[in-house]
């Protein structure tokens, strides 16, 4: 379980040791009810069992400790549940966990946790995308330097820069929606995935159990076919990468020498234990840390999916803490960036100033494309590149170098040259791209 520094309390609650047992008990209760409904076990026994499937009646630590000898949590949990049921009704205890195997309880319990978790992720994703869309609208025409290879390239708008994130996040929402539709499925197959223990009642019990838990019933059990879980892991991995990119861009923009964007200020936020002047981008730090950590965990899930025969040996247990960690870290990164996006502190003056620091070099492509119709793109590239080198060497403005060059002045007059250096005049489809992305945003 990641520290609270790296995740959010709501997700820590979903994946706590206690909640994990609670969801497994939800499975056991629903199983008893479903089997009573189909007539496999007596209704009375089901009632007694379901009543005992309350996690507050269990010693969570004791069950955890017993798991090392047993090999999984379900064995000591079922044993404890059986004891508790027996204490109430000796006749009912014989019907606990009827026909199920440990993995049915563990996997279905996990799916129930994931169902809650994905709902939370989806809500936070909407919150972040909405915040970024609102910021994009607010700063639709604010011009700042676009940067490639960490160097100034061309002017762009903050609107289009942020809209690109909205566009990507909306794709992630579609992916999450698909997971919620396709990956939230019941696990119920008994010892080897055949439901042999239920003889000819297996399918009926499955349906009733799925209904009870409001989980789709898959075509067959998936004890060692783990692609749906990998899909969750990979989808969150992709989302975290997008969050990491957002955090990277924010932290680069927040550099002392750039100063275009700051994270929202709050008392004590982002201070230093020794440097009084510091306002560290702590939200970005959380998201970047997640973006560094999650890829290795996704790789673990993929490696772990090679599970032997009808139940894996070490691969399956390798998932138990890995997938929750992915979810927890993603949630932490999402929340951190939503907070940043909502309170984004934009410094338009620094953006304007940064557009000026190259002595016009950021408009080199504009100049090239203005010359190209007359002299060809390649010749214009060479001419302007040479002018850029002169401008740098002499500390001169590119405009002045170009104006003084007869090869330029015979093509472009003074006014045309001056227009090339207007940031608002070289934005191309920035506005249209932004509008497209925001129009699609729900």
> What residues are labeled active site?
272, 311
Sites for a copy of itself among residues 3-22 (CB under 8 A): 3-6, 17
How many Cα atoms occupy the beta-carbon half-sphere of 175 within 13 Å? 18
As a whole number of angstroms, the distance between CA 359 and CA 363 comes to 9
As a whole number of angstroms, the distance between CA 252 and CA 248 comes to 6
Q: Counting contacts by CB under 8 A, is residue 345 touching a copy of itself?
A: no
Q: How many chain residues touch a copy of itself (CB under 8 A)?
A: 186
Q: Counting contacts by CB under 8 A, is residue 52 touching a copy of itself?
A: no
Tokens of 142: 């604010």
Q: Counting contacts by CB under 8 A, is residue 356 touching a copy of itself?
A: no
CA-closest candidate to residue 281, choices 252, 240, 245 = 252
Q: Counting contacts by CB under 8 A, is residue 245 touching a copy of itself?
A: yes
Tokens of 5: 């520094």
Tokens of 109: 């319990």
Pick one of 80, 128, 366, 420: the residue that binds a copy of itself (CB under 8 A). 366
Contact mark string toward a copy of itself, 95..124, x via CB under 8 A? xxxxxxxx--x-------------------
Segment near a copy of itself (CB under 8 A); pick from 107-115, 117-125, 133-141, 253-261:
253-261
Contact mark string toward a copy of itself, 278..317, x via CB under 8 A? xxxxx-xxxxxxxxxxxxxxxxx-xxxxxxxxxxxxxx-x
What is the nearest approach in angstroms of a copy of itself to the Cβ of residue 138?
A: 19
Q: Counting contacts by CB under 8 A, is residue 427 touching a copy of itself?
A: yes
Q: Counting contacts by CB under 8 A, is residue 154 touching a copy of itself?
A: yes
Residues in the chain: 442
As a whole number of angstroms, the distance between CA 195 and CA 100 comes to 8
As a whole number of angstroms, the distance between CA 25 and CA 18 comes to 11
Pick one of 56, 181, 276, 442: the residue that binds a copy of itself (CB under 8 A). 276
Which DSSP string do the residues of 243-307 spell out, in sequence order?
HHHHHHHHHHHTSTTT-SEEPPP-TTTT--SS-TT----HHHHHHHHHHHHHHHHHHHHHHHT--
- Nearer to a copy of itself (CB atom), residue 127 or residue 390: 390
Q: Counting contacts by CB under 8 A, is residue 264 touching a copy of itself?
A: no
Rounded (5°) CA angle 127-343-280:
120
The separation between CA 39 and the C-alpha centre of its own chain, rounded to angstroms, equals 44
Q: Counting contacts by CB under 8 A, is residue 44 touching a copy of itself?
A: no
Please, what is the angle between helix 17-38 and helix 202-213, to 10°? 130
Pick one of 39, 141, 216, 428: the residue that binds a copy of itself (CB under 8 A). 428
- Going 303 to 308 to 314 to 319, the CA torsion angle's sign is positive
As a whole number of angstroms, the distance between CA 441 and CA 29 comes to 41
Pick one of 117, 358, 405, 417: the residue that binds a copy of itself (CB under 8 A). 358
Q: Counting contacts by CB under 8 A, is residue 139 touching a copy of itself?
A: no
- Nearer to a copy of itself (CB atom), residue 54 or residue 308: 308
Pick one of 47, 231, 342, 400: the residue that binds a copy of itself (CB under 8 A). 231
Pick one of 193, 261, 334, 399: the residue that binds a copy of itself (CB under 8 A). 193
Pick one of 35, 50, 110, 145: the residue that binds a copy of itself (CB under 8 A). 145
Pick one of 60, 230, 323, 334: the residue that binds a copy of itself (CB under 8 A). 230
Segment near a copy of itself (CB under 8 A); pick from 115-123, 127-135, 370-378, 412-420:
370-378
């Amino acid at each position: 379980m990641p520290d609270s520094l790296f995740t959010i309390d709501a997700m820590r609650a979903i994946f706590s040791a206690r909640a994990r047992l609670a969801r497994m008990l939800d499975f056991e209760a629903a199983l008893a009810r479903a089997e009573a409904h189909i007539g496999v076990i007596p209704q009375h026994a089901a009632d007694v069992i379901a009543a005992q499937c309350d996690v507050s009646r269990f010693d969570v630590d004791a069950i955890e400790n017993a798991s090392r000898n047993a090999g999984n949590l379900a064995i000591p949990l079922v044993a404890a549940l059986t004891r508790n049921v027996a204490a109430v009704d000796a006749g009912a205890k014989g019907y606990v966990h009827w026909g199920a195997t440990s993995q049915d309880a563990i996997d279905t319990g996990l799916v129930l946790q994931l169902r809650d978790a994905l709902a939370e992720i989806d809500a936070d994703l909407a919150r972040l995308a909405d915040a970024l869309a609102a910021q994009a609208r607010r700063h639709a025409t604010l011009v700042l330097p676009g940067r490639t290879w960490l160097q100034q390239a061309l002017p762009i708008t903050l609107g289009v820069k942020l809209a690109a994130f909205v566009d990507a996040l909306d794709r992630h929402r579609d992916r999450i929606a698909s997971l919620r539709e396709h990956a939230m499925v019941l696990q119920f197959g008994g010892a080897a995935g055949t439901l042999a223990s239920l003889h000819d009642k297996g399918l009926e019990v499955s349906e009733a159990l799925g209904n009870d838990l409001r989980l789709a019933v898959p075509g067959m059990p998936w004890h060692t076919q783990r692609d749906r879980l990998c899909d969750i892991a990979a989808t969150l991995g992709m989302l975290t990468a997008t969050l990491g990119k957002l955090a990277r861009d924010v932290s680069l923009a927040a550099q002392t020498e750039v100063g275009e964007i700051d994270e929202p200020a709050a008392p004590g936020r982002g201070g230093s234990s020794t440097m009084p002047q510091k306002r560290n981008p702590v939200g970005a730090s959380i998201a970047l840390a997640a973006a560094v950590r999650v890829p290795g965990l996704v790789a673990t899930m993929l490696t772990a999916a090679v599970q032997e025969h009808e139940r894996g040996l070490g691969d399956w247990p390798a998932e138990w803490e890995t997938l929750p960690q992915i979810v927890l870290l993603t949630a932490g990164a999402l929340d951190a960036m939503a907070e940043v996006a909502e309170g984004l502190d934009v410094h338009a003056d620094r953006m304007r100033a940064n557009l000026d620091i190259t002595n016009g070099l950021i408009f080199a492509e504009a100049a090239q494309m203005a010359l190209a119709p007359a002299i060809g793109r390649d010749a214009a590239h060479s001419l302007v590149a040479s002018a850029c080198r002169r401008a740098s060497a002499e500390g001169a403005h590119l405009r002045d170098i170009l104006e003084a060059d007869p090869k330029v002045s015979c093509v472009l007059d003074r006014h045309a040259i001056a227009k090339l250096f207007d940031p608002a005049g070289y934005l191309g489809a920035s506005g249209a791209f932004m509008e497209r992305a925001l129009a699609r945003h729900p």
